A and B are shown apart, each in its own frame.
Chain A
């Protein structure tokens, strides 16, 4: 059962539950327990599974470790502490592991300083990919009592029989930064490792999950605790998310966000950032993309003459040395400002931050709270943050987001369920341990929360794949990684090389996607996404690591560039790296739109004179709107701009779309070259991605054309050549046709040919050990890995359309990348009238659609017929050649 803790234990109860020496040290140092600690000390002492969510600086480490140290200390005092592993701590970051190691050894030294009698000391060890061989050997001979590790290293350790001998008496497993794990395949991987651990040592242990905000909490608790057969294991939830006070505001940098030009907005944003940096000792700026980070640093340096000593970028594409350097400067308080995409939002120790600036919407309430929570010196301080909005839709989004944060309305996470690629990896690992029956394996796997609903037939299909049943008998020698005997349902290890394959290829993060960017002198600059490279043409300029470069040529996994200082990038930032808006937030924005539109319409000017107000940004908020806006954490500019934005949409189009009403607008683009059909469906990009494809396919079936699609969080745009005149009755027909389609079936067919499918398939193939990165002890040259993924996919389809890796690719796309289940629900809502739609025709796109047209991710829904597509391409090329 999952239990939410409501009443903390008293300070006395909490402190009484821990060992005397540790208690004395703790009281001396901290006086009394923080709110989460007043739950956790006693719960963990009693051996309960616990989920603790709390902001940075709330004593989270000791919330988890206090009672464990106390237990170990008691064992040591009664001479029962042996050289065995009693506690495993797992975090997704190596950097965090080093912090934790320090945060435990220093207090322990202090505690032992007070103890005069000779006792066996509690030992702590780190085990990550960086741990040297000598240290590993030492750990094997004399295992630490507390082992600090990563999910990948843990997965390797559980396959080492010798090491497992030391884990027989394991009592505690701690998972830190749960919010960075529970929503992705890395966490899924870890969850399976933990259940395998239970199976291997033959008993359960106390599980402790820690993290920042992670809702719904009971799902997170289930992730931590898992199942025992059909029973869900008990878990207690300690939610201290809101114990640190937050002070935040959505800032519109200009008075009239609706009509201000990009340059004016840009200038105002950078001025605001500059002012904040100058006012504070240390400012942390978050952007939403790596390229955004690059752009901000580039502009601050260029505009305000900051030097490298004052300001630095920190993101995942930068080398480890650069990142560590930045973290170090932050800790020492030497940096005025650090700009980061996501890499600094995790719990790495970065010293004290005075102020957080978030540029543009971070797309989820939880992330906003997490990022702003990085400021403030301690738990008792108020964390200060500003969200500076970049355009009008961003303005509305951030306003609603911060309002939700104020009201503690959080969005939810989802865990990838039944991921077959991750399971394939573990099956290879499991078969190395011993001979399994399918029944026992099925039981163990289903105890893991992400696999609780796994179907037996999927497990079987993986066993068939891994045992090489998809190739002829004579080739199985090379292909098979396990043996599987269907007649009695057993499987086990096969081949000498398999153990090595498991060790060297473990993990869920596809590493082959990064394309190295090099100068022509072979100096490494950074990396870009493979998909970004596929759009680069020789001569294109793009920004990386704060500088601009000209693309020269590419060789396999390398991209060669020459410096192009001062040149304007010709390739826009890469949108797919942007995070999608969460569904809950999208619905909240929809509700706000409805409320706001009704308030604005009370005093909307009418008649011809009203139209003159368009584009002026001069309407003063009326009383009804004031009332709503004043209750939200916004600056005056923001209130004014929101009012004008809504008023202009109402004056222009007569309708403001909301969560229960989709506005469908058909119009032409500026150049008068193309039809635009704009769907104002504010449900977030994951849902719109699915919806837009379906509508585009339906349109493509009505007319023999390639349909362009622009997808954003706020809606999507279908782009069609003007050769076909589109009228209202055509739109009605389009919607009718679309509502009659089977979404999953249609999309499965359509997605097959997209770039996304090819790329995702390769990730899945790598995770399922179909494409190895390391083999026979050798790193496989990327050139050999780089067999065209589409062709591998085609080859896999030759075997069966239900090949488990293909199945997983679709699952990943439909459930992790898109949100097909919710998209289907919206379609159903449209069918039964719960969600209505209005079709309008406009001369030019209405105000609410502008960002949808300019931003957004473009994709082309190919015409069904490949023959026609190649012919079309042929025609285009020939006409292009003739023109030049």
Chain B
């Protein structure tokens, strides 16, 4: 699904493609998640990295990018680099080079990405703290306000957006989505859903206080005015603006 001449949401995938940069963008991978969870007593079978590889492979097959931008939270643990995280990170970096033929891996540091600087050399990636401006696009993770790019196209992650639809006859249903709109400064902005297998998302049409989660919503951006592009099976579906979806029941 094309947003404009340069920007496209890949059909049925949590991936954005920017033609002028030859870059595919994803967000919130939380690699090593299962290992970290196992340390806390939830013994999840490993599935995250496997699924992420499949998605990247599909995306690469469609747009053949040179660059992969991970828009924050490539790993999960705040306080350290867990051994499981390191193992998966290394496997992921190798996969990008060998199988996906990605030339550059660019990382925006998210709130979960502490202590990864020292992996830069051995694993071979570029890293930016909080945000980076590339062409007219400002990539920022989202737990802080963007500092630059007053007339840039903003690309954000962090909130794991999804919408919930209440059902008269059953439980509510949750769909992962991109959020697309314009902020009060007139900048275009897109929020990318999480690629993590275990994240079912923050429900933007029923939960309150998204401003606490990402300050841009408290300041420059009205969530109600944003459009939800949900990820269907092999396609992207436009569910209209969040304002009309408050507690929607079908």
Contact = CB atoms under 8 A, between A and B. Distances in A.
Interface of A: 470-472, 474-475, 478-479, 501, 531, 534-535, 537-539, 553, 708, 755, 769-776, 780, 784-785, 787-788, 790-792, 794-796, 798-799, 803, 858-860, 866-867, 870-871, 873-874, 876-878, 880-881, 884
Interface in B49-90: 50, 84, 87
A860 B39 CA distance: 38
A708 B245 contact: no
B200 A791 contact: yes
B122 interface: no
Contact of A785 (B34, B42, B175, B207): B42
A537 B87 CA distance: 42
Interface string B179-210: 00000000000000000011010000011100
- Interface residue tally of chain B, by bracket? 35 or more
B134 interface: no
Residue from B37, B40, B171, B200 whose CB has the most chain A CB atoms within 10 Å = B171
A874 B39 contact: no
A-B pairs, 4 with minimum CB distance: A775-B41, A772-B41, A795-B47, A867-B233
B120 interface: no
A471 B84 CA distance: 12
A870 B39 contact: no
Given A871-B237, A874-B230, A792 B35 contact: no
Contacts of A537: 166, 247, 249
B40 A775 contact: yes
B38 A538 contact: no
Contacts of A803: 45
Nearest to B166: A537
Contacts of B206: 538
B173 A771 contact: no
B82 to A, nearest CB: 10
Interface string B203-223: 000111000000000000000
A495 to B, nearest CB: 12
Contact of A874 (B34, B166, B169, B239): B239
Given A755-B170, A867-B235, A470 B250 contact: no
Contacts of B44: 787, 792, 795
A531 B35 CA distance: 29
Contacts of B40: 775, 780, 784
B35 A795 contact: no
Contacts of B207: 553
A496 to B, nearest CB: 14
Given A871-B232, A877-B239, A799 B41 contact: no
Contacts of A784: 37, 40-42
B135 interface: no
A708 B230 contact: no
A873 B200 CA distance: 18
Nearest to B235: A867
Contacts of A470: 45
Contacts of A878: 239-240
B46 interface: yes
A769 B249 CA distance: 37
A709 to B, nearest CB: 9
23 contacts: A474-B87, A478-B39, A478-B43, A479-B38, A534-B171, A535-B172, A537-B166, A775-B40, A780-B40, A780-B41, A787-B37, A791-B47, A794-B47, A795-B198, A798-B46, A870-B175, A871-B232, A871-B237, A874-B237, A877-B239, A877-B250, A880-B250, A881-B245
B77 to A, nearest CB: 13
B45 A876 contact: no
Nearest to A805: B45
B248 interface: yes
A575 to B, nearest CB: 12
Contacts of B20: none
A537 B172 CA distance: 9
A881 B249 contact: no
Contacts of B166: 535, 537
B233 A858 contact: no
Nearest to A501: B41
Given A877-B245, A881-B244, 10 more contacts: A537-B249, A539-B247, A771-B42, A772-B41, A791-B47, A795-B46, A796-B45, A860-B170, A871-B237, A881-B245
Contacts of B165: 873, 877
B239 A478 contact: no
A860 B197 CA distance: 26
A795 B232 CA distance: 20
Contacts of B87: 474
Contact of B240 (A475, A795, A881): A881
